[in-house]
């Protein structure tokens, strides 16, 4: 770094001439004295620059400390981040539950389908024999019995399949609830990102005033109004734990 000497061009030239003159006249001591004067001035300039930088650094750190954006960010990392983790864990639980429910229904249904296919193949063969008049009376009585059993079993099997489909249908409800939860977490991540960008700007130019117009508490209140209740995440509001409690509450209100 080149330190600017706090001296105008003319007086610098004068000092330089004095050094040359002194040296030419053999006054070395005087020459060094003038040279020292110049160095001293140069050091003074350097100290002033360092002083200014120190002051700026001090102001920046102070501005940082009182900046509400940093306060907000700290409060977000302390409260919202663990909340977000809980929410995402709940999403994992819900999706796992939905996948299990669906897979259970499928695993229950596949053997039923296989059995139906197999039985209908056997019956089809017998039926063909009957049509081609290759069936004895004894065989026909056997076929009648088989048909009767088939109808009874099919009735049962179809009911099993029907209820499996219902299970699969209801399991898809996870998408709505996890979607709402994930949207909230995305919102939080965006918030943190905005605040980090603002802080980077602040550290580049500490004089930028904070523009967060809404107090943190108010913002939290606004964020927490809606969305599914997540176990382990307490929004501070009283919640009911299921349809029965909803019904109780409503009937207490005269419903």
Nearer residue to other proteins within complex by CB, 207 or 239: 239
Q: Which residues, at least 6 apart from 77, have a Cβ–Cβ distance to it below 8 Å?
A: 192
Nearer residue to other proteins within complex by CB, 54 or 175: 175
Q: Which residues, at least 6 apart from 130, have a Cβ–Cβ distance to it below 8 Å?
A: 140, 143
Nearer residue to other proteins within complex by CB, 111 or 179: 179
Nearer residue to other proteins within complex by CB, 125 or 172: 172
At its nearest, how many Å lie between other proteins and the CB of residue 151?
24
Q: Which residues bind other proteins (CB under 8 A)?
A: 166, 169-170, 172-177, 179-180, 226-229, 235, 237-243, 246, 249-250, 253, 255
C-beta of residue 189 within 8 angstroms of C-beta of residue 83 = no
Helix (H/G/I), strand (E/B), else coil: 229: coil
Nearer residue to other proteins within complex by CB, 73 or 174: 174
Q: How far apart are CA 57 and CA 61, in angstroms?
A: 6
At its nearest, how many Å lie between other proteins and the CB of residue 105?
14
At its nearest, how many Å lie between other proteins and the CB of residue 113?
21
At its nearest, how many Å lie between other proteins and the CB of residue 101?
10
Q: Which residues, at least 6 apart from 227, have a Cβ–Cβ distance to it below 8 Å?
A: 180, 181, 183, 184
Sign of CA dihedral 64, 69, 75, 79: negative
At its nearest, how many Å lie between other proteins and the CB of residue 245?
8
Nearest Cα neighbor of 105 from 156, 168, 155 is 168
């Amino acid at each position: 770094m080149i330190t600017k000497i706090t001296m105008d061009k003319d007086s610098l030239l004068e000092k330089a001439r004095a050094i040359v003159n002194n040296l030419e006249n053999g006054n070395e001591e005087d020459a060094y004295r003038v040279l020292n004067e110049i160095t001293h001035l140069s050091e003074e300039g350097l100290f002033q620059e360092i002083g200014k930088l120190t002051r700026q650094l001090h102001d920046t750190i102070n501005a940082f400390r009182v900046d509400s954006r940093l306060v907000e960010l700290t409060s977000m990392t302390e409260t919202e981040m663990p909340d977000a983790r809980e929410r995402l864990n709940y999403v994992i639980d819900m999706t796992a539950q939905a996948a299990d429910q669906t897979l259970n229904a499928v695993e229950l249904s596949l053997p039923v389908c296989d059995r139906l296919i197999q039985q209908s193949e056997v019956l089809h063969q017998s039926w063909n024999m009957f049509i081609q008049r290759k069936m004895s009376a004894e065989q026909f009585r056997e076929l009648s019995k088989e048909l009767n059993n088939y109808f009874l079993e099919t009735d049962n099997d179809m009911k099993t399949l029907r209820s499996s489909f219902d299970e699969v249908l209801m399991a898809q409800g996870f998408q709505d609830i996890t979607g709402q939860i994930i949207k909230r977490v995305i919102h939080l991540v965006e918030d943190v990102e905005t605040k980090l960008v603002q802080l980077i700007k602040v550290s580049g130019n500490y004089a930028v005033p904070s523009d967060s117009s809404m107090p943190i508490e108010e913002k939290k209140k606004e964020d927490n109004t809606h969305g599914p209740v997540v176990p382990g995440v307490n929004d501070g509001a009283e919640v009911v734990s299921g349809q029965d409690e909803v019904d109780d509450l409503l009937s207490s209100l005269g419903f």
